[in-house]
Amino acid sequence: MSSHFDEFDNDEEDPSPLLPQDDRLWRHPSELSNTNYKKELQNTWLSREPSKASAWTAGIVGALLASGVVLLGTHLATALTAKTTNVAQADTTSTVPILGAASSYAAPALGGHMSLSPDISLAVNSVAESMVTIQANFGAKQSYMDGLVISQNGLIVAPATSVAGAASIIVTLYNKTSYVGNIVGIDNSKPYNSDLAVIHIEANGLHPVPLDEEEPVANHQMVLALNIQAAKEQVLATTINSLDSPQTKNWSRLVDSIVISPTPQGLTPGTAILDDAGGVVAFVLGNNQKYPIAVPAWLIKPVTNVLIMHKTVLKGWLGVVATNYTLRKGVLIDSVYRHSAAAAYGLLPGDVIIALDNQPTDTVNSLMARLYTKPPGSTVRLLVIRGNKIMPMKLVLGSSTASK
């Protein structure tokens, strides 16, 4: 993803996505009120749920993994274990940590010779019960992937690239029951999108997937990759490779993405990425060469809510051209479009946006992703640095009809 942000598509003279959302999913209990906000923002998740500090530990763990340092005592490292049979005493099985000196680029697969601790195993099983396998039929060709159940009444999220244009879709639940699936909506608009699709099956009483939408993830953090293709669960230990890096080919259009470290056989589209609490933090869309590309879990609900309501993602418009701000985490406004929301409410070139709706906008990618779930007419709250002042601003997003 480029660090430059222009809300107009060069081909269509249309601003890049700043789309819809259900406000219920995004409001933070605190409000912008003082100059200590940025520090509070960084610590809010810790004050609400101290146990989630393990995410930061996991980031450090991943960095140590890449350096080949032996790791013991972390939540996920101790939860992942390997059962090793002693050749001299074939009836003896011992349990030892498997993430000792492993490289993040050679992550161990948890298959027949590996096992999970009881707590993590329960979490993995809970997510697996919320997963489905999907067969998309394109005439003589078929595409196979996993999907996530997002409602009790048969709504499922799937990678849009894998299902778009399918003549028919077969969805098989975890209990091996199969249904005909119908596409409700697809987000594959230009110039950016989430590459998510919503499928509906005539089923009730399903188990929605536990999405961990507020858990911060970090580069090199250890995670689990779970898919249920071939009628069996496959769990791989891997790491977050990058949170904000340019991608090529099919994935250059993603409004926000997480790059997963390579695994020996790649990851099936629809694979769930779990953190050390057992919640889903990302959803794999496909593989860019050897690197699996995923969308963060926090985008799933707002995007799918809009797809269910409107069949496509609506585009609100802020009206700025911006770049990453190198002196402080934030987004520097280079220019403002005339007759845009940004112009109407007084944003100026040189302003630095550091938060939107109480969520940090450290990079252009994060600003785009936060705006992506806001339709025209949405009210958004910005935290802006102008000169030496921090200014809260409230504005209503417009449509993409203005000119520069």
Domains, the chain, in order of start with CATH, read 4-20+314-396 (2.30.42.10), 127-209 (2.40.10.10)
Please classify residue 299 by burial: count the beta carbons closer than 10 Å to its beta carbon, then call 0-12 exposed, 13-18 middle and 19+ buried: buried
Kindly state the tokens that stand for 286. Answer: 């496909």
Within 13 Å, how many C-alpha atoms sit on residue 103's CB side? 5
β-partners of residue 385 are 352, 390
* DSSP states of 328-391: SSSEEEEEE-TTSHHHHTT--TT-EEEEETTEE--SHHHHHHHHHT--TT-EEEEEEEETTEEE
DSSP 39: H
Task: Please list the pLDDT of the chain residue by residue as tens digits (404 residues).
Answer: 445 666 544 333 333 333 333 333 333 333 333 444 434 443 443 344 444 334 433 433 333 333 333 232 345 555 555 433 332 333 322 222 222 222 233 344 443 334 566 778 888 889 999 999 999 999 999 999 999 999 999 999 999 999 999 999 999 999 999 999 999 999 988 778 899 999 999 999 999 999 987 777 888 899 999 999 866 788 888 999 988 665 556 677 888 889 999 888 789 999 999 988 889 999 999 988 788 999 999 899 989 998 998 888 887 889 999 998 888 889 999 999 998 999 999 999 999 999 999 988 888 878 888 888 788 899 999 999 999 999 999 999 998 654 34
Q: Which residue has the tokens 């996505």?
A: 17
What distance in Å separates the CA atoms of residue 257 and residue 243, rounded to the nearest whole number?
Answer: 7
Can you list the alpha helix ranges (DSSP code H) found in 49-153? 54-66, 75-79, 118-128
- How confident is the model at residue 246, as a pLDDT? 56
- How confident is the model at residue 99, as a pLDDT? 29
- How confident is the model at residue 116, as a pLDDT? 63
Residues 6+ apart with CB under 8 A from 28: 44, 357, 358, 359
- How confident is the model at residue 16, as a pLDDT? 30
Can you list the alpha helix ranges (DSSP code H) found in 81-211? 118-128, 160-163
What distance in Å separates the CA atoms of residue 78 and residue 158, rounded to the nearest whole number?
Answer: 32
Residues 6+ apart with CB under 8 A from 115: 81, 82, 83, 95, 121
CB neighbours of residue 359 within 10 Å: 18
- How confident is the model at residue 30, as a pLDDT? 35
- How confident is the model at residue 310, as a pLDDT? 86
Q: pTM of the full predicted structure?
A: 0.69
Q: Which residue has the tokens 């911006």?
A: 322
Q: What mean pLDDT, rounded, does the chain reach? A: 74
Amino acid at the residue 352: V
- How confident is the model at residue 218, as a pLDDT? 86
Separation in Å, CA 59 to CA 2, 53, 64, 74, 277: 24, 10, 9, 11, 14
What distance in Å separates the CA atoms of residue 147 and residue 63, rounded to the nearest whole number?
Answer: 30
- How confident is the model at residue 270, as a pLDDT? 96
- How confident is the model at residue 24, as a pLDDT? 31
Can you list the alpha helix ranges (DSSP code H) found in 81-195? 118-128, 160-163
